[in-house]
Structure 1
Amino acid sequence: MFPKFVIGGAVFNHQYCENPETLPVKDIINEAFKQGFKAIDTSPYYGPSEELIGNALLQLPYNREEYIICTKAGRIKLNEFDYSRKNIRYSVERSLKRLNTSYLDVVYLHDVEFVGKNEILEALKELELLKQEGIAKNIGISGYPIEFLYEIASEYGKLDCILSYCNGCLQNTKLFQYYDKFKDCGVKYILNGSILSMSLIRSSRPHAFHPGSQELKDKVYEIAQDLLKNDSIELASLSTKYAIENWSIKYNSPIVLGVSNLKELQTAVDALNDTKDYSEYYDRFQSLLGSHFNETWSSGNH
């Protein structure tokens, strides 16, 4: 169902951009679709993202059945969640209006680690009902702690999709270890989000909101500067290539790609088509990370 890249709408919000309304959302989506990446991921939690994407889609010459829309429900604000069945349905119906569609290809429960297991299982019942009604074609969960995502997937046993973020990248490869486990739970699609680990894996400093330890951030920045100075390698490009090779190609599974302009989209496309061997640089980066390789941070209740 999915192409190799899914355009991520998380960057179309105020957390990543001071004025997301100025981003070339229509141009990004149009170019991605032209390249064959006809899939979009968003959430009501991402500020104006759903409205920006919905308005862009109205202006593009594509029929609804030609592209995939994924969104989420349950997370309202930074520290506010509502997994009640009433709110899940309300959120989905609102997303339909914002995105100008009569159905959604995927609806996830957003960041499940912040609520209790019983709340998650109850909310999934409402998503299951929406699926039976044809409003949500596929249902799933998203979140950061990979072990907890697996626990829910294993217990529920009927999830179509898992969206993991920051766990399938150059700094943290835990998602790769869980691919077969998720498949054994019956999960059809496993998506790898934030392959730059929410701005951690790049040559400049990460955004201030990044939850990782200062030691981790300092170490990544130190290595990034060395690669840039001595090898003319931009760490973000290297991490993109790594995720493509070790996830998109190896497992034939999609990457959710957050891009805020056409240049960033083209960089990802170039990485997809680049046949150069970068394994020496992957190994060097992960070796220099030392104990920070596969280091994680707490999220929600985990």
Structure 2
Amino acid sequence: MSFKPIGPVKTKVTGKIEDLPALLLGGAVFNQQFNENPESLPAEEILRIGFNHGIRAIDTSPYYGPSEIILGNALKTLKEDFPRDTYYIVTKCGRVKLDDFNYSPAAIRASILRSLERLNTNYLDLVYLHDIEFVDEDGIYGALKELRKLKNEGIIHNFGISGYPVDFLYHIATKVTTIPEIGQLDAVLSYSNFNLQNETLRDYIDKFYKEAKLKKLLNGSILSMSLLRSGTTHAFHPASLELKSASKDVAKLTAGKGVELADLATRYAIGEFLPHGSTVLGVSNIAELENAIGQYWNAVEKKVDDERLLNDVKLAFGSHLNETWASGIAHDI
């Protein structure tokens, strides 16, 4: 692979969350939900190649099964070449299993202490409350107060929230600025809301930065959890059958033009979101990582003219553009 790095390599990171690299290596793929045998994935080589190309940050979670353990072992193996202060570690807390959440302060603290051990580190650069829409607001605020305490103790350096409904993420991010024990969040991670099919997040970007006084906004799942690719959509995907069918029609359309839908979607999401924040990549093998880096440079250097095809794709999605799905419990906002 002959791509130039997207950022500095093997130098100390600043530690400031605003300076996260443009791309992060996502850890959700190291999980049985996405891969039948995640332990067999080449985690060490993915990290080595990613770090050598300036992608000096990982994003994981205890909810992702063995992900933290797999990545922690890989980081331990790579420590001579990549000391701890040359990359960022981002993880999450609060979501235990599919329908199991524990946002109690004691559970939040215990989860983070376990993550430190699993990831072979004595501090975490950023920790999110995981999928906040499944928990009542009082529980969210209690957990965020504990994260603020952990930040004050130096155990974590930044904290924030993650989830799917953008309006609820925005509601919480702005509300906590008025709660002295919490204050402004450092970061928010939104997923499946800034991509080729759904750009709901776009209208909230300025609001997050100006009204919630956010330091960093991040975009995850730019292929919308496997929806935007020619391969089979994962069985757990919550999209409507009609949206899944429309996506398959779009994949056939792009294939007819000699373009893989996932490549087009990757170029589009990275290129469009780059001025606003960082993007989390989920790659399961070296080929996917190399392709993602290639698509990054295609987007940045505008090596591919996608305008006409993008217009065709949006027409093909039709009424399914910006279609979302229900996630979490009902909140009065």
TM-score by length of 1: 0.98
Question: For 1:149, which of 166, 169, 191 is the aligned residue?
Answer: 169
2:31 match: 13
> Which amino acid in the other structure matches residue 153 of structure 1?
A
1:226, distance to aligned residue in structure 2 (A): 2.1
2:111 match: 91
Q: Does structure 1 residue 159 correspond to structure 2 residue 185? A: yes
Q: Does structure 1 residue 136 correspond to structure 2 residue 156? A: yes
Question: For 2:262, which of 223, 236, 242 is the aligned residue?
Answer: 236
1:78 match: 98
Identity %: 52
Q: Distance in 2 between matches of 1:95 and 1:10?
A: 15
Q: Distance in 2 between matches of 1:42 and 1:187?
A: 21
Q: CA RMSD in A?
A: 0.7
Q: Distance in 1 between matches of 2:306 and 2:329?
A: 37
Question: For 1:102, which of 105, 115, 122 is the aligned residue?
Answer: 122
1:52, distance to aligned residue in structure 2 (A): 0.3
Q: Distance in 2 between matches of 1:278 and 1:6?
A: 24
Q: Distance in 2 between matches of 1:226 and 1:170?
A: 14
1:262 match: 286
Q: Distance in 1 between matches of 2:56 and 2:46?
A: 11
Question: For 1:279, which of 307, 310, 317 is the aligned residue?
Answer: 307
1:276, distance to aligned residue in structure 2 (A): 1.5
Q: Distance in 1 between matches of 2:281 and 2:148?
A: 27
> Which amino acid in the other structure matches residue 304 of structure 2?
K
> Which amino acid in the other structure matches residue 167 of structure 2?
E
1:205, distance to aligned residue in structure 2 (A): 2.3
1:226 match: 253
Q: Distance in 1 between matches of 2:309 and 2:44?
A: 35
1:79, distance to aligned residue in structure 2 (A): 0.3
Q: Distance in 2 between matches of 1:254 and 1:109?
A: 18
1:288 match: 316
Q: Distance in 2 between matches of 1:118 and 1:300?
A: 15
1:244, distance to aligned residue in structure 2 (A): 1.3
TM-score by length of 2: 0.89
List runs of 5+ in structure 1 lacking aligned partners: none
> Which amino acid in the other structure matches residue 189 of structure 1?
K
